[in-house]
């Protein structure tokens, strides 16, 4: 699988990582080139582990990790071209934003660290507060200090782990623009999130990680179709729902209809339908319900758990030639 | 040392010295200094004689230095691990051994600075009983510096090996250094404090006894402390290179 195929800057080959009995990543191979690539997955899916491996913070249990052609865990020189926003705190509370960003610039061999720090802080919109102790910053401001730390040495590769966490809507917009601009400058940016809408706004391509496995890859619109417009079991409750289900069946929007078992209080719980494409069903229901005179009280997916999502994505990925 | 390493040292030193915890533990040496002031005020010169060995050997070298070194040495990397800044420190192009050396040096200098009131007080006490000024001042300073260097190196290493470094270090200081090493002369050979107290005998020459000192000479003791320091710092550098952060 390759994302932003072309010159490979970031590469995982058959990488697995486990902590005791817990498998965080399982046989992941990915090849990422310049531009913004989104790493999408639920909390605990393995996104942070993948980014930590690429940042050289940890070693793979199995497989090979390459960033800019070298092993990031063994070769410190890789950090000349690598900027990382890691999960968690990652700032020094006792120091000002300017001093800690300049300190890191010096550590990374930047010629004029003060000037580079000022430029990085300006880019993330922290110039006015740059000389205050970071301990007094809001969470959003600390997140921006982390971005400035990652940008100060003008790296070719950026690994951003949930960089929008803790930001207010205005800051999110600004940072989405910033990440997009970084990708447009020709940098290789790998940005993680558990929110598809966020990734869609930043990334040209998306990698989906579920339970430590890379299960899908593609353009954001395609990934949205995979996640949203997939087969689903849906329960319909209300007045004249049988008529509604019949009409949906007649129009080919659902494959089957069955009566839902009554609730514990003896009341009818409507009907359960199997929809091959949940997105199409959702779009059609209002008009069909009006046509059949149905009043819907409840419409809910059934058996909507992580495992079913995972199974679907694995099937879809296999179907796509993985 | 290169600019990168000196910057690392300066940044680390500021971080260690201006922590609330450091300021809190600075009270410990100040307490020793206060005890010295009381001793100077209420006892005659012959009466102070035994106080010199008790305060210099047992209290300063045997308790204050290891406790301060424990807190500052463990914090040199422990706080970076807790604050998730260790990946930033390690994520630079500089060789990782420089980071280990700079952090140890910062913890060491901070420990010596924090212990300075007690060190000066003990030296003043020694001078007040007419012991040779040069030997007293040099001996107390050397004992504090070398003992602090060895303890800091060991605790910096401990902080890289376990996330419960403070607990492990405290158990080591209390159980081993303070209790077990005093039980048998053979065990003193494995106690940093006993070598530190032997170096401190420079400050209290003649017939002033110091409890639980190593049986080696002052020079050998100083060399042992230096070797412990170098080995522990080297192991920290190796650990930094290999560990997951």
List Cβ neighbours of B191 (8 Å cut-off, separation of 6 or more). B176, B177, B181, B212, B214
pLDDT value at A121 more than 50: yes
Please judge whether A109 and B85 are an interchain contact, meaning their C-beta atoms are less than 8 angstroms apart.
no
* Cross-strand bridge partners of residue A158: A83, A189
Taking the C-alpha atoms of residue A159 and residue A9, their distance in angstroms, rounded to an integer, is 12
The CA-based dihedral angle spanning residues A81, A86, A91, A96, taken in that order and rounded to the nearest 10 degrees: 40
Q: Which of A107, A133, A139, A148 to mutate to test the interface with B (most CBs of B within 10 A)?
A: A107
Task: Average the pLDDT over A14-18 and give the result.
Answer: 95
Taking the C-alpha atoms of residue A212 and residue B76, their distance in angstroms, rounded to an integer, is 34
Q: φ, ψ for residue B23 (rounded to 5)? A: -65, -35
The predicted pLDDT at position A307 comes to 52
- From A81's Cα to the closest Cα of chain B, the distance in A is 9
List Cβ neighbours of A198 (8 Å cut-off, separation of 6 or more). A164, A172, A176
Q: Which of B1, B6, B16, B88 to mutate to test the interface with A (most CBs of A within 10 A)?
A: B88
The burial of A131, by beta-carbon neighbours within 10 Å (0-12 exposed, 13-18 middle, 19 or more buried), is given as exposed
The predicted pLDDT at position B5 comes to 66
Strand order through the sheet with A295-302: A256-259, A271-275, A232-239, A295-302
* Cross-strand bridge partners of residue A19: A22
pLDDT value at A320 more than 60: no
List Cβ neighbours of B21 (8 Å cut-off, separation of 6 or more). B71, B75
Task: Please indicate whether residue B208 or residue A13 has the higher confidence score (pLDDT).
Answer: A13
Please write the tens of the pLDDT for every residue from B178-198.
778 777 777 777 889 999 988
Please judge whether B19 and A91 are an interchain contact, meaning their C-beta atoms are less than 8 angstroms apart.
no
pLDDT value at A88 more than 80: yes
Please judge whether A57 and B83 are an interchain contact, meaning their C-beta atoms are less than 8 angstroms apart.
no
Task: Average the pLDDT over A269-276 and give the result.
Answer: 88
The predicted pLDDT at position B201 comes to 87
Please judge whether A86 and B14 are an interchain contact, meaning their C-beta atoms are less than 8 angstroms apart.
no
- Nearest residue, CB atoms, A57 vs list B8, B94, B245: B245
Q: Which residue has the tokens 């990374």?
A: A108
Task: Please indicate whether residue B55 or residue B115 has the higher confidence score (pLDDT).
Answer: B115
> How far is C-alpha B68 from the chain's CA centre?
7
* Secondary structure, 3-state, chain A: CCECCCCCCEEEEEEEEEECCEEEEEEEEEEECCEEEEEECCCCCCHHHHHHHHHCCCCCCEEEEEECCECCCCCHHHHHCEEEECCCCCCCCCCEHHHHHHHHHHHCCCCCHHHHHHHHHHHCCCCCCCCCEHHHCCHHHHHHHHHHHHHCCCCCEEEEECCCCCCCHHHHHHHHHHHHHHHHCCCEEEEEECCHHHHHHHCCEEEEEECCEEEEEECHHHHHHHHHCCCEEEEEEEECHHHHHHHHHHCCCCCEEEECCCCCCCCCCCEEEEECCHHHHHHHHHHHHHHHCCEEEEEEEECCCHHHHHHHHHHHHHHCCC
Query: Which chain B residues have a beta carbon less than 8 Å from that of A25?
Result: none
Q: Which residue has the tokens 């091959």?
A: A276
Query: Which chain A residues have a beta carbon less than 8 Å from that of B9?
Result: none
Q: φ, ψ for residue B157 (rounded to 5)? A: -60, -45
The predicted pLDDT at position A154 comes to 95
Please judge whether B14 and A95 are an interchain contact, meaning their C-beta atoms are less than 8 angstroms apart.
yes
Query: Which chain B residues have a beta carbon less than 8 Å from that of A152?
Result: none
- Nearest residue, CB atoms, A107 vs list B8, B84, B244: B8
A10-227 and A229-303: same fold? no
Query: Which chain B residues have a beta carbon less than 8 Å from that of A92?
Result: 15, 83, 85
pLDDT value at B154 more than 50: yes
Query: Which chain A residues have a beta carbon less than 8 Å from that of B88?
Result: 84, 86, 90, 104, 149
Task: Average the pLDDT over A169-195 and give the result.
Answer: 92
Task: Please indicate whether residue A87 or residue A309 has the higher confidence score (pLDDT).
Answer: A87
pLDDT value at A44 more than 90: no
**Least trusted range by pLDDT, from A70-74, B59-63, B79-83:** B79-83
The predicted pLDDT at position A99 comes to 94
Quick one: closest CA in A to B96, which residue?
Answer: A76
- From A224's Cα to the closest Cα of chain B, the distance in A is 33
Query: Which chain B residues have a beta carbon less than 8 Å from that of A103?
Result: 7, 11
Rounded to 5°, angle at Cα B92 from B91 and B94: 135
**Cβ within 8 Å of B, A 61-80:** 76-77, 79-80
- Nearest residue, CB atoms, A94 vs list B4, B19, B90: B19
Quick one: closest CA in B to A52, which residue?
Answer: B245
CATH class of this structure's domain A229-303: alpha beta
Taking the C-alpha atoms of residue B120 and residue B113, their distance in angstroms, rounded to an integer, is 11
Task: Average the pLDDT over A248-272 and give the result.
Answer: 84
Task: Average the pLDDT over A203-229 and give the result.
Answer: 82
How would you classify the pairing of strands A157-161 and A10-19? unpaired
Distances from the Cα of B92 to the Cα of A82, A85, A87, A102, A150, angstroms: 9, 14, 18, 13, 11
Beta strands in B28-140 (DSSP E): none
Query: Which chain A residues have a beta carbon less than 8 Å from that of B18?
Result: 94
Q: Residue ranges per domain, chain A?
A: 10-227, 229-303
The predicted pLDDT at position B206 comes to 58
CA atoms within 13 A on the CB side of A121: 25
Please judge whether A89 and B245 are an interchain contact, meaning their C-beta atoms are less than 8 angstroms apart.
no
Task: Enumerate chain B positions whose Cβ falls within 8 A of a Cβ in A.
Answer: 3-4, 7-8, 11, 14-15, 18-19, 83-85, 87-96, 244-245
Q: Which residue has the tokens 């009381």?
A: B38
Distances from the Cα of A32 to the Cα of A39, A57, A68, angstroms: 11, 19, 11
How would you classify the pairing of strands A157-161 and A188-193? parallel
Please judge whether B3 and A90 are an interchain contact, meaning their C-beta atoms are less than 8 angstroms apart.
no
CB contact A23 to B (< 8 Å): no
Q: Contact, B166 vs B78, CB < 8 A?
A: yes
ipTM tops the 0.85 cut: no
Please judge whether B88 and A57 are an interchain contact, meaning their C-beta atoms are less than 8 angstroms apart.
no
Please judge whether B85 and A56 are an interchain contact, meaning their C-beta atoms are less than 8 angstroms apart.
no
* Mean of pLDDT over chain B: 88
Please judge whether B7 and A59 are an interchain contact, meaning their C-beta atoms are less than 8 angstroms apart.
no
Q: Contact, B127 vs B135, CB < 8 A?
A: no
Interface size between A and B, measured as CB pairs under 8 A: 76
- Nearest residue, CB atoms, B11 vs list A86, A103, A149: A103
**Least trusted range by pLDDT, from A263-277, B17-31, B52-66:** A263-277
Structure tokens at B85: 């800044």
Structure tokens at A24: 């965080």
The predicted pLDDT at position A318 comes to 52
Task: Average the pLDDT over B19-43 and give the result.
Answer: 90
The predicted pLDDT at position A3 comes to 45
Q: pLDDT band for A306, please (50, 70, 90 cuts).
A: very low
CB contact A104 to B (< 8 Å): yes
Q: pLDDT band for A2, please (50, 70, 90 cuts).
A: very low
Q: pLDDT band for A168, please (50, 70, 90 cuts).
A: confident
The predicted pLDDT at position B19 comes to 82
**Cβ within 8 Å of B, A 126-185:** 149
Query: Which chain B residues have a beta carbon less than 8 Å from that of A137?
Result: none
Q: Hey, which CATH number is domain A10-227, 3.40.50.10860, 3.20.20.190, 2.50.20.10, 3.40.50.300?
A: 3.40.50.300
Query: Which chain B residues have a beta carbon less than 8 Å from that of A58?
Result: 244-245
Taking the C-alpha atoms of residue A247 and residue B109, their distance in angstroms, rounded to an integer, is 81
């Amino acid at each position: 699988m390759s994302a932003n195929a072309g010159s490979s800057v970031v590469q995982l080959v058959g990488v697995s990582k486990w902590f005791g009995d817990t498998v965080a990543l399982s046989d992941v191979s990915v090849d990422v080139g310049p531009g913004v690539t989104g790493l999408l997955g639920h909390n605990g899916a393995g996104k942070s582990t993948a980014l930590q491996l690429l940042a050289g913070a940890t070693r793979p249990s199995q497989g090979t990790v390459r960033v800019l052609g070298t092993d990031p865990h063994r070769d410190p020189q890789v950090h000349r071209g690598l900027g990382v926003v890691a999960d968690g705190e990652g700032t020094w509370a006792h120091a000002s934003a300017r001093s800690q960003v300049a300190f890191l610039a010096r550590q990374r061999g930047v010629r004029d660290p003060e000037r580079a720090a000022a430029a990085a802080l300006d880019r993330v919109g922290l110039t006015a507060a740059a000389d205050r102790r970071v301990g007094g910053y809001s969470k959003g401001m600390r997140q921006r200090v982390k971005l400035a730390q990652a940008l100060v040495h003008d790296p070719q590769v950026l690994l951003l782990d949930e960089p929008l966490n803790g930001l207010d809507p205005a800051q999110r917009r600004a940072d989405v623009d910033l990440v997009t601009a970084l990708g447009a400058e020709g940098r290789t940016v790998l940005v993680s999130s558990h929110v598809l809408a966020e990734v869609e706004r930043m990334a040209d391509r998306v990698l989906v990680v579920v339970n430590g496995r890379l299960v899908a890859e593609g353009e954001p619109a395609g990934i949205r179709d995979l996640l949203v417009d997939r087969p689903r079991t849906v329960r319909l409750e209300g007045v004249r729902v049988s008529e509604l289900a019949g009409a949906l069946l007649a129009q080919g929007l659902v494959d089957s209809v069955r009566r839902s078992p009554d609730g514990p209080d003896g009341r009818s719980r409507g009907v359960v339908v199997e929809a091959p494409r949940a997105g199409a069903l959702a779009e059609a229901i209002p008009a069909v319900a009006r046509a059949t005179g149905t009043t819907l009280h409840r419409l809910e997916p059934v058996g909507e758990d992580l495992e079913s999502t995972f199974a679907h994505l694995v099937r879809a990925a296999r179907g796509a030639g993985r | 040392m290169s600019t990168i390493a000196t910057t690392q040292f300066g940044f680390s030193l500021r971080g260690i010295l201006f922590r609330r915890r450091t300021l809190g533990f600075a009270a410990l040496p100040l307490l020793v200094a206060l005890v010295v002031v009381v001793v100077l005020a209420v006892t005659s010169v012959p009466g102070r004689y035994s106080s010199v060995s008790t305060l210099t050997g047992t209290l300063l070298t045997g308790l204050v230095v290891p406790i301060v070194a424990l807190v500052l040495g463990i914090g040199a990397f422990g706080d970076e691990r807790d604050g998730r800044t260790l990946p930033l420190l390690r994520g630079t192009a500089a060789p990782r051994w420089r980071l280990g050396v700079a952090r140890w040096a910062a913890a060491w200098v901070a420990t010596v600075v924090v212990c300075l009131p007690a060190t000066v007080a003990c030296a003043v006490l020694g001078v007040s009983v007419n012991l040779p000024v040069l030997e007293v001042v040099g001996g107390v300073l050397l004992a504090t510096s070398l003992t602090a260097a060895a303890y800091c190196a060991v605790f910096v290493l401990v902080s890289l090996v376990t996330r419960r470094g403070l607990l492990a270090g405290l158990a080591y200081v209390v159980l081993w250094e303070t209790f077990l090493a005093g039980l048998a002369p053979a065990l003193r050979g494995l106690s940093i404090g006993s070598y530190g107290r032997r170096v401190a005998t420079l400050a209290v020459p003649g017939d002033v006894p110091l409890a639980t000192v190593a049986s080696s000479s002052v020079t050998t003791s100083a060399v042992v402390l230096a070797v412990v320091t170098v080995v522990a710092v080297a192991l920290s550098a190796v650990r930094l290179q290999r560990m997951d952060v």
